[in-house]
Amino acid sequence: MTPFLLSQICIAIAMCFDVMTFQFKQRKHVVYCLVSANILIGLHFFLLEQWTAVLLMAIAALRNTVSLYLNSRRIMFGFIGLTLIATAMTYQSALSLLAGAAALLPNIAMFSGSDKRMRILLMVSTCIWILHNSLAGSPMAILMEVLFLAGNLVGYYRFYLRGDRRLA
């Protein structure tokens, strides 16, 4: 099995977590799914030798876990700093800058006191990841991000536009 094929399998599994992510109202359930997806996405990028994205996914998994227990602006800024340092240290091309830009918004989102704001910031970040994954040549990662965005939009509609509290 080639590294590319294995990377696409990792993304397929991550998609399962991404699809579930925004169908939960409770923040901890959303975050558990995000962390699981972060780990698999990081493995995917490792197999594709996209080192900036690998490191940013490791930071994302740590950040998402920490955000469950601590909601401090100092910690948020610490993760923003880590993201910038990781991007600079692993810079390979403009693709590294796209990954860094996509990774910055979730730092703010995960330490936001508002679930609604978190969802919006993650949707913008997802759009940047779609562009990144297109340029990185990973069709399953593009599909995963499109599904993640769609799931987030459905959850946003259910919880904030329609007011559905089922599956909360």
What number is the average pLDDT over the span 117-140? 93
pLDDT in tens, 7-61: 999 999 998 988 787 678 787 898 899 899 999 999 999 999 989 999 999 999 9
pLDDT on residue 167: 47
CB neighbourhood size of 84 (10 A) = 14
DSSP 82-150: HHHHHHHHT--SHHHHHHHHHHHHHHHHHT-S-HHHHHHHHHHHHHHHHHHHHHHT-HHHHHHHHHHHH
Q: Where are the domains of the chain?
A: 3-162
Q: Letter for the amino acid at 24?
A: F
Global pTM reads: 0.83
